[in-house]
Amino acid sequence: MGLSWEEEGNGGDAAAPQPQSLTSAPAAHLLRLPLVQVKALVKADPNVMLAGQEASFILARTVELFVETIAKDAYCCAQQGKRKTLQRRDVGNAIEAVDEFAFLEGTLD
Amino acid sequence: MAERPEDLNLPNAVITRIIKEALPDGVSISKEARSAISRAASVFVLYATSCANNFAMKGKRKTLNASDVLSAMEEMEFQRFVTPLKEALEAYRREQKGKKEASEQKKKDKDKKTDSEEQDKSRDEDNDEDEERLEEEEQNEEEEVDN
């Protein structure tokens, strides 16, 4: 599925530096997902000992990219059905159709 | 404590926002589709973390770092993510650096302020004396006028 990744439509433009309080989560304006929850997921893996700040941040950004990707791919399926509402089956179809999503097989069951 | 992927869901509101921004206007998403994507995202994080951890272990490190995650993306065949991730990482590092410098600057300013405050205090005392003298002179003038 040839989809372009140019338009991100997010805060990744590193907007003009705003005065941030030092106690706030780092790079809060670069992410939409709360780092705290991403870190909780990382800790859930018994094999992982520690994750650096950068690793947590970049993982969170990865998840955002993933969500955008799968949403767009699912939308392709919905479009074919001439629908404007994404349904669960569209997500399922995207998982089956896109090789990279092979690891997700069985997730929706 | 083994957590099932379904137990560690990411916030629905944020997931919905990301999805809506990725899609053209006028397209909506059913609750089931959103929760399916949310679950997939949780599984994705666990898979990516596990993959990244393998790279860390190969490098005999106990702490995951950013390059482990990037290597994991390539391993998982998500090379398309690598470039935007590198950009995000650079922006993050710049901001961290900026924050560090800002906090150091703040500290310097604070020290300067306490120094100058002490100077001001002594200056104010001098000023008060001057004001008193001025008032006296004014009073004297008034007296003269009355006379």
The pLDDT value recorded for residue B88 is 94
Confidence of residue B134 (pLDDT cuts 50, 70, 90): low
pLDDT at B136: 63
Domains, chain A, in order of start with CATH, read 26-104 (1.10.20.10)
Are residues A87 and B30, on separate chains, in Cβ contact within 8 Å?
Answer: yes
pTM, whole model, 2 decimals? Answer: 0.70
- Asked if this assembly's ipTM is beyond 0.85, the reply is no
Terminal-residue alpha carbon distance, chain B: 96
Per CATH, the number for B1-76 is: 1.10.20.10
A90/B48 Cβ within 8 A: no
Backbone angles phi, psi at A10, to 5 degrees: -135, -170
CB contact under 8 A, B63 and A78: no
Chain B contact probe: residue of A10, A67, A85 with most B CBs at under 10 A:
A67
Torsional class of A82: left (φ above 0), alpha (ψ -120 to 50), beta (otherwise)? left
List, for residues B49-84, the tens digit of each pLDDT value: 999 999 999 999 989 999 999 999 999 999 999 999
Give the span between the Cα atoms of A49 and A44, in whole angstroms: 10
Which of the 8 DSSP states describes residue A46? T
